[in-house]
Amino acid sequence: AFSESSAKALTMIKYSGITIGALYVVFMPLIYLMAEVDDAPGMILIGMAIIMGCITVAVFADVLKKIIKNNLGVNSNSQ
């Protein structure tokens, strides 16, 4: 379960979460304009929820990667 490949996969998940969140931040003005035209304030809240979800996934993946790296270091030192 704890291997270098899982740490690399978590790094990719972290970068993907950051990228998707950044894209939503870039497109938020467009979402705001669409919400103004349609008079739908829920679109802005949904956009913000997606951004917060992406940030949460990125932080969680980074924490898991650090735990895996720490566990790999402990296992290699004990052998």
Task: Using CB atoms within 10 Å of the CB of residue 61, give its burial: 0 to 12 exposed, 13 to 18 middle, 19+ buried.
Answer: buried
SS3 41: coil
> Does 75 score more than 80 pLDDT?
no
What is this structure's pTM? 0.78
CA distance 40 to 32: 9
* C-beta of residue 10 within 8 angstroms of C-beta of residue 62: yes
Q: Which two tokens stand for residue 42?
A: 């829920």
| 1 — pLDDT class (breaks 50, 70, 90) | low
> Does 79 score more than 60 pLDDT?
no
Q: Which two tokens stand for residue 6?
A: 């899982």
Over residues 2-59, the pLDDT tens digits come to 788 888 999 999 999 999 999 999 998 888 888 788 777 788 888 889 999 999 999 9
